Each structure stands twice: as C-alpha cells, then as structure tokens.
Amino acid sequence: MAFRLVVNQGGVVHRSPLKEGGNLVGSRSDCDVRLLHASVSRRHAILWVEDGQVRVEDLGSRNGTWIGGERIQQGLLSAGNTVLFGAVEARLEDLPAGDFEPAMLFDQDGATPDLSASGSRSGTTLTTGLTDAFTLRALPDLAARLAAGAELAEMAQRTGEALFSNLPCLALTISTGSGSEAGILFEAARNGARPPGEAEVAIGEEGLTVHASFPSAQIARAYRPLLEAAVHLITAANRGAPAKKRRGPQCPSPPPLPAPPTVSPAVRTIYESAARVARGEITVLILGESGTGKEVLAQYLHAASPVCDGPFLCLNCAAMPRDLLESELFGVEKGVATGVDARPGKFEQADGGTLFLDEIGDMPPEAQSRLLRVLQSGEVYRLGGSRPIAVKVRVIAATNRDIAAMMAQGTFRTDLYHRIAGWVVRVPPLRERLEDLPNLAAFFLNREARRLGITVRGISRHALDALLAYDWPGNVRELETEMARAVLFLEDGELLDSVRLSTSVLEASAGGGGSLSEILERTERQAIQRALLAAGDVGGAAELLGVSRATLYRRLKALGIHH
C-alpha cells in the first residue's frame, strides 16, 4: 500500500505521491511537497511513511499543523482524513503501489501509447490561492444569485458553503440575532472541531453574524476582510437586490450542486464523481435507504449529461402490478385488448434523454427479462406489437433493496444487474451525514415558510440539538416533512424552537421512550455516530469511546451503521 497527499484549491487538484521514509512539506524549492502559500513555513512539517502508516511531525512552523481541529506536534494521519499546514488543507489517500507507476503513457495528441515509460518524482509544487478560489469561482455565482433576487436564507447558505469549502475555516456559523434568540442559517465544522477563541472572527451587520474559527490568530486576521465582504453580500439580500429575469433551461457543465449546499465530504465526493460519470453514456445504479435523495442525484446526473436538454422521466417500479408496469415501460399497440388505443411507453417518451427507474429491486422477473432485451438491443417492442422501435435512452436505476442478496437468491437477474450497474453509488443515510442536517433543516424550513407567506428568523440551538439527536429513519424526506409540519405552528418572524418539534424528535433528544433495550440501543447508536463524526474514522472513534477497534467494528455491524 502506498500513500499520496491531495490538495484541492479552486477546483484544481494536485496529487503528490509520498515515498517511504520522510517527506518534507513546506514552501522551499527542495521540499518533497512544496506549498506556495503565505501561511506555510519554509520547512513546515515532515510526513513519515513507515510500516503502512503516516506520521505527521511539525517542524516548529509559525502557523502550525492541525489534525481534527487540534494543533499537533506529532500525530498519526489516517487515509481519508485531512491535515492543515497553516491555511492549506490536504487529504491523505491510500492506493496500491502500482497506481503510482504508469503502465501506458499517451502522446498529447492521443496517438500511440508509450509502453516503456518510466520516471521519478523529485518533488511536487502546489500553488494554492485560497482567496482566489473564493473570488474567482464562488463570488460570480453568489453575485448572480443576488442579482436574480435571492433571499437572505439562500444567500446565507450559499455563501456559507462557499466560504467553508474555499477557506481554511475549522468551523463556520451564520446566524441572525444573538444569544438564546440566535437563529442559525448555516453551520459547519471539520470533524466537529471547536478551536480556542484566540483564532476566531465574529462579524455582525444588520442583525446578521458570521462567526468563523481558523487554525491560528494570524490566519484569522488575514481572512477577516474577506469575511466582512461576505457579510455585506448576504445582507444585501435583505435590502432588495435588483431582480433580473431568469433565463430558460440551460445545461451547465457541471451544473451547481442541488440546494441546499452540502458540507459533507462523502456527499460532495459523490456529486463530484457524478459530474464525471454524467459525461459518458454508462448506466448508473443508485443504492440507498428510502428518503436519502436518490432521485435528486439522478436529476443531477441528467442535468450534467450531454442529453440535459432531452426529457427526464421517472417510473416507480414498485408502485404497480406487472402488466401495468410493462405497458408503462414499453407501451401498447392498438387492439391488444378491447378498447385499448396505441400509446408509447416511457422508453419511447424518454428517447434522447434519461429514464429513471426507481425501486428496480421490486421489478417482477418477467419485466426484468423484457428490460434486459431493451438494454441489450436498444430497441423496444410495444405490448402486442411486432415492430421494433429504436430508442436511445440513458437508464439510471435506484433501489433500497439488497441487490447482492437478491441475486444470490435468484430473485434479481445477474445479467440485468451488469447492464444497469455501469457505475454503482451508495447515497448515505442522513444519520451518516449529520453535518448536513442544519443546512437541510434551514432550507426546508424557509421554503415552507415562503409558501405560507411568512418569514422565519432561524432555528434555536436547543431545537437544532434535538434534530441532531434524532436517528431519522426516514432520512432527508422525513426531515423535510418535519420542517413542513413545524412551520405551520410558527407566526411571522418567529424562531423555530424545540416546542414546535414532533414528539418522536423530542423523545430522542430527551433519551426517548420504549423498552430498556431499545433505549440502550438508541443511546449506543447515537454515541457511536457522534464519535465517528468527531473523529472521522473508526480508529479515532474507538479511542474517543474507550473501546478497541475490533469491538467497535462488531458494534457497527450489529447496529447496521455504515461508515
């Protein structure tokens, strides 16, 4: 196993393979990983790669080296976790050693591959401009939204996501009011980090407060002017920015992420991969529990694809009996039954676009066979018809069923699976992406408030804590319903407090009801999930919980917690 360090700033990704032994990180030209940034010292740190582990050693840098929100002198860095060198964030990846060695190199014109290529790495220079990333990539989009008449809540969420993604913030909160009356519009933290007060910036204007925490006081001072500009941008939404007529449907490449913006690394990675997958023509299979947002991901794939101007049609395979499902999919010819007129099916209607087959795991075996023939031939036969109709449709399928178990049992065709599983992706349940819950709740709450013609000042800290303590078996859809119900009990200008939340949510925050075993299981689940969220990996979570890694793995399996 080998390791590499990944830095993504402004959409430009730099990957630096790490050699066995010491890897010097800093701004000097002779560093193995060179970071040209004002917050990085000339000799900032060393990454020691030994015995399949990566150990980080700070070399007395001015702005420090940070892991999990804490400044460290030495510490272990696990694959998938991030480290801050001053204000520059990097992520460690582990790969088979062979992934660093080119087997084939192509000429720039894409001609004959060079099969004998070899080379060595003498050090990688990473030029990172954090402020430029925000100014050049995020600011134009924010300005366009403001000009189009975006409201305060939307501007706060979009600006918060842009700041948190492009600046070295350890934590960021945007709220209205203060103290117990504060209404949270956006909140995010890296691995649950809450750093000391000397590295914090708080800026208030027109009742809006942006509170940001940084690795050091020097970095906090450096980014204060940018945060002040961001506050001006958000409050401009309250003053009524000039509205412009929105354009018709367009096909951005890649399109913006669905609202509300996500701060979950796992979800961001899914959508970054989806933007790449969408450029091709392979089928996609989306796995995940009910209510996790599988259809939202399917819509994003369509919007990012070359057929984005074509139709996007959905069909729930579990919502109808076999005969009706087949007629909906493939269409019917006139005379197939008394009084039946000819009509096209979803495949014909989606020609030149995308067909989303939800709950494909519930499709009857006979329909599976017909679907396989269409995917193999690119032709569809209507029920009762003998003439093939050519169709060009991209199929995206989704299910909450265990497809692997169904194939083992013979209830789902293996050959069909291989046709629909060009790219398989799992959308995590809400309990595994709790960092997104505050912004999802705020988004749904404000959307429902607008429908009722009222404004909501925000969500109280106690209410947010109660939402975070709940397990959300219905995932994002259940949260959406919870906010739609809660807003009905709010007056114009009120803050959502815990009193308006449903009994099931409040019971979870208070310890919940049920039998002793149910209470213990719920408490254990919540403790494990919060430890995973805070530590970022199983090893760190086990240390926080005071158990061995093997014990935690057993409990994860027993409780059905995926990580």
Bridge partners for 203 per DSSP: 210
Beta strands (DSSP E) in 82-182 are: 82-85, 88-95, 105-106, 113-114, 124-127, 171-176
Boundary (domain end) residue, out of 76, 95, 114: 95
At residue 462, the pLDDT reads 84
Q: How many beta carbons lie within 10 A of that of residue 171, not counting itself?
A: 19
Residue 383 tokens, joined: 């029920």
- Where does the pLDDT of residue 303 fall: very low under 50, low under 70, confident under 90, or very high at 90 and above? very high
Residue with token string 């996609």: 284
pLDDT in tens, 470-507: 999 999 999 999 999 999 988 888 888 888 899 888 88
Q: State mean pLDDT over 273-292.
A: 94
H/E element, 12: strand 12-18
| pLDDT, greater one: 45 or 543 | 45
pLDDT in tens, 352-393: 999 999 999 999 999 999 999 999 999 999 988 889 999 999
Q: State mean pLDDT over 3-30.
A: 83
Question: Of 441, 436, 531, nearest to 483 (Cα)?
Answer: 441
* Cα–Cα distance for residue pair 555/551, rounded to 1 Å: 6
At residue 178, the pLDDT reads 66
Residue 412 tokens, joined: 């789902």
| pLDDT, greater one: 331 or 140 | 331
H/E element, 157: helix 152-166
Judge whether residue 347 has pLDDT over 70: yes
* Cα–Cα distance for residue pair 405/48, rounded to 1 Å: 42
At residue 247, the pLDDT reads 42
Helices 139-147 and 152-166, interaxial angle, to 10°? 180
- Tell me if 205 sits within 8 A of 487, measured CB to CB: no
- Tell me if 6 sits within 8 A of 13, measured CB to CB: yes
- CA trace torsion 338, 341, 347, 351 (10° rounding): 170
Q: For the chain, what is the largest distance between any 2 Cα atoms, rounded to a whole number of angstroms? A: 85
76 and 197 within one domain = no
In a domain, 128, yes or no: no
Provide the residue count of the chain: 563
- Tell me if 159 sits within 8 A of 234, measured CB to CB: yes
At residue 278, the pLDDT reads 94
In a domain, 111, yes or no: no
Q: 130 to each of 11, 169, 215, 384, 444, how far by Cα in Å?
A: 11, 11, 14, 62, 31
137 and 74 within one domain = no
* Cα–Cα distance for residue pair 561/545, rounded to 1 Å: 16
232 and 205 within one domain = yes
- Where does the pLDDT of residue 563 fall: very low under 50, low under 70, confident under 90, or very high at 90 and above? low
Boundary (domain end) residue, out of 371, 403, 426: 426
- Tell me if 62 sits within 8 A of 218, measured CB to CB: yes
- Tell me if 474 sits within 8 A of 290, measured CB to CB: yes
Residue 274 tokens, joined: 């989806």
At residue 486, the pLDDT reads 94
* Cα–Cα distance for residue pair 106/113, rounded to 1 Å: 4
* Cα–Cα distance for residue pair 270/280, rounded to 1 Å: 16
Q: What is the DSSP letter of 138?
A: I
At residue 97, the pLDDT reads 61
Question: Of 29, 36, 38, 32, nearest to 5 (Cα)?
Answer: 32
Judge whether residue 243 has pLDDT over 80: no
| Residue numbers of the domain that contains 214 | 133-239
pLDDT in tens, 152-211: 888 999 999 888 888 888 889 998 876 666 788 998 887 655 545 557 888 888 888 899
CATH number of the domain to which 328 belongs:
3.40.50.300
pLDDT in tens, 44-92: 999 999 988 999 999 999 989 999 888 999 999 998 889 999 888 899 9
In a domain, 108, yes or no: no
| pLDDT, greater one: 8 or 438 | 438
401 and 449 within one domain = no
Burial 5-29 (b: 16+ CB within 10 A, else e): bebbbbeeebebbbeeeebbbbbee
Question: Of 188, 164, 157, nearest to 436 (Cα)?
Answer: 188
Between β-strands 423-426 and 284-287, what pairing exists: parallel, antiparallel or unpaired?
parallel
463 and 408 within one domain = no
Q: State mean pLDDT over 313-324.
A: 90
* Cα–Cα distance for residue pair 335/340, rounded to 1 Å: 6
At residue 518, the pLDDT reads 63
272 and 234 within one domain = no
CATH number of the domain to which 36 belongs:
2.60.200.20
- Where does the pLDDT of residue 129 fall: very low under 50, low under 70, confident under 90, or very high at 90 and above? low
272 and 390 within one domain = yes
76 and 49 within one domain = yes
The mean pLDDT of the chain is: 83
| pLDDT, greater one: 402 or 136 | 402
Please state the separation of Cα 245 from the chain's center in Å. 30
At residue 151, the pLDDT reads 86
In a domain, 115, yes or no: no
Q: 235 to each of 142, 162, 273, how far by Cα in Å?
A: 12, 16, 34
Judge whether residue 251 has pLDDT over 70: no
419 and 274 within one domain = yes
In a domain, 116, yes or no: no
At residue 11, the pLDDT reads 59
- Where does the pLDDT of residue 122 fall: very low under 50, low under 70, confident under 90, or very high at 90 and above? very low
In a domain, 100, yes or no: no
In a domain, 11, yes or no: yes
Judge whether residue 318 has pLDDT over 60: yes
Question: Of 378, 390, 451, 447, nearest to 419 (Cα)?
Answer: 378
At residue 555, the pLDDT reads 86
* Cα–Cα distance for residue pair 100/120, rounded to 1 Å: 10
Q: State mean pLDDT over 290-317.
A: 95
Phi (first) and psi of residue 33, to 5 degrees: -120, 110
Q: Full-prediction pTM beyond 0.75?
A: no
Between β-strands 12-18 and 2-9, what pairing exists: parallel, antiparallel or unpaired?
antiparallel
H/E element, 70: strand 70-72
Judge whether residue 113 has pLDDT over 70: no
Q: 78 to each of 60, 66, 337, how far by Cα in Å?
A: 22, 13, 64
139 and 13 within one domain = no
At residue 149, the pLDDT reads 83
At residue 167, the pLDDT reads 82
Q: State mean pLDDT over 335-344.
A: 76
Judge whether residue 242 has pLDDT over 50: no
What is the number of structural domains in the chain?
Answer: 5
In a domain, 110, yes or no: no
Can you give the C-alpha Rg of the chain in angstroms? 26
Please list, in sequence order, all residues whose beta carbon lies within 8 angstroms of the beta carbon of residue 94, skipping any fewer than 6 positions away. 1, 2, 3, 79
Q: What is the DSSP letter of 136?
A: I
435 and 384 within one domain = no
Residue 107 tokens, joined: 């000429």
CATH number of the domain to which 479 belongs:
1.10.8.60
- Where does the pLDDT of residue 108 fall: very low under 50, low under 70, confident under 90, or very high at 90 and above? very low
Judge whether residue 118 has pLDDT over 60: no
Judge whether residue 106 has pLDDT over 60: no
438 and 391 within one domain = no
CATH number of the domain to which 137 belongs:
3.30.450.40
- Where does the pLDDT of residue 99 fall: very low under 50, low under 70, confident under 90, or very high at 90 and above? low
Judge whether residue 127 has pLDDT over 60: no
Boundary (domain end) residue, out of 426, 456, 477: 426
